[in-house]
Amino acid sequence: MIDRRLPVVVLAAAVLLGPSLGLAQSPSGDPYKIGMTYPLTGSLAQLGHDQIAAAQLAVTEINRTGGVKGHPLTLVLEDTQGTPQGGIAAMRKLVQVDGVQAILTVFTNVVTAQMPLADQLKVPTLSTVQTPGLVSKSAFSFANSLTMPSETALLQRFWREHAYKRIFAFYGNNAFGQAVAPIAKADVLAAGATYDEAFLDLAATDFRGVIARAKEFAPDGVFIYMQGSTAETSTIRQLRELGLTTPIFNASNSFYDRAWREACGPYAEGMYFTGYNVDPRAGRAFIAAFRAQEGHPPSYQAGELWEMVQMLAWAIGKNGYDGVRIRDALAALHGEVPSVFGGSLTMGPDHYTAASSVALWHVRAGVQVKVPVGR
């Protein structure tokens, strides 16, 4: 259970949460537990801090303004180590021991393993998986994220416009990497470029042999999509340290995640990212709260987690603290919860929220600048 004390930041609670949650000042009922199965250890743990901090911040703010119909929310966190086995064990513990009725989770390999168990236990999961069509296969699984095709399609247009001819791609050798590689390959070929790829062990640290093969391919662009892992940042550093100066493209905009950026070091400069950032106007209150707590602006992943807690709070407030009823509310979500990326959240029939606009960003002098891309 997360029990660290977070600073209270004054927010416009009625705007963030809506009237259905109840705004009494001192929640006193039995806590409504939200489970969180995240990698606290292992190669995929690098991005966890900001996401967990954002989820806890959302819980703190909801409780500060009365909780959900007089009940406080509580996060109960279990380590998956980023593995399917760890994800199943963590989920069983949260549901069967802690009695949680909804779970926040992450990463394709973990979510894939958890989906049958979610259906069996009748407890909904809400994740940030980007694998298209995955959560559609489960009645109790939902996602709040961009999906892979919306991001690589943007890169396809950029590569075609700028006449890129040879793209080498790096993926993690896991379920996510195997799922997204064919999508990226199709976009590279559609852009008129030649393609080669490598799948890397996310638990490894030395990728110089594979990088040497990539250099022999003589790419004029490198595409890397390894879920923000330590292997991803290690690969970026080693690409540059071994003299490959080719532009690097990443389809997961992790630049504003402090742990990722610090692990990548100066080599993030000049990189291109697809995705979105928290909107300065729509996410103003969240940005202020997160900056006051963490000392830096939030990444898009932190924004997604903030939204996910709001979605669950809304669903519980609407239908009650029961897995089946929470599932029903999430499936019917249609604009009731505001998005920190602009607009509001709607759950599609495929169990993915409607995607916000996607942009291409270029890191210049330590900040991201939006790059215009034609149709």
Q: What is the mean pLDDT of residues 121-147?
A: 93
Q: What is the mean pLDDT of residues 335-349?
A: 94
For residues 51 and 305, give the distance between their C-alpha atoms in angstroms, rounded to a whole number: 6
Residue % of the chain over a pLDDT of 90: 78
pLDDT in tens, 96-125: 999 999 999 999 999 999 999 999 999 999
For residues 215 and 207, give the distance between their C-alpha atoms in angstroms, rounded to a whole number: 12
Instruction: Find all residues with CB under 8 Å of 186, minimum gap 6, and list them.
Output: none
Q: What is the mean pLDDT of residues 223-249?
A: 95
**The pLDDT of residue 180 is above 80:** yes
For residues 161 and 143, give the distance between their C-alpha atoms in angstroms, rounded to a whole number: 32
Per-residue pLDDT, 355: 66
Q: Give Cα separations from 285 to 7, 10, 17, 255, 346 (angstroms).
A: 14, 9, 12, 21, 21
Domains of the chain: 13-146+280-346 (3.40.50.2300), 148-275 (3.40.50.2300)
Specify which residues 170 forms β-bridges with: 198, 224
**The pLDDT of residue 45 is above 90:** no
The pLDDT mean for the chain works out to 90
Per-residue pLDDT, 240: 97
Highest average pLDDT, of 150-159, 162-171, 272-281, comes from 162-171
Q: Is the pTM of this model over 0.85?
A: no
Per-residue pLDDT, 356: 67
pLDDT in tens, 162-173: 999 999 999 999
Higher local confidence (pLDDT), 86 or 133? 86
Q: What angle do CA 28, 294, 142 make, to 5 degrees?
A: 65
Per-residue pLDDT, 126: 98
Closest C-alpha to 343, from 269, 276, 251: 276
H and E: helices and strands count for the chain: 12, 14
Structure tokens at 363: 């890191």
Q: What is the mean pLDDT of residues 329-333?
A: 98
Closest C-alpha to 223, from 276, 154, 175: 154
Per-residue pLDDT, 9: 32
Going 41 to 47 to 49 to 53, the CA torsion angle's sign is: negative
Higher local confidence (pLDDT), 3 or 139? 139
**The pLDDT of residue 71 is above 90:** yes
Question: Is 367:313 a contact under the CB 8 Å cutoff?
Answer: no
Per-residue pLDDT, 13: 31
Per-residue pLDDT, 358: 84
Confidence of residue 25 (pLDDT cuts 50, 70, 90): low
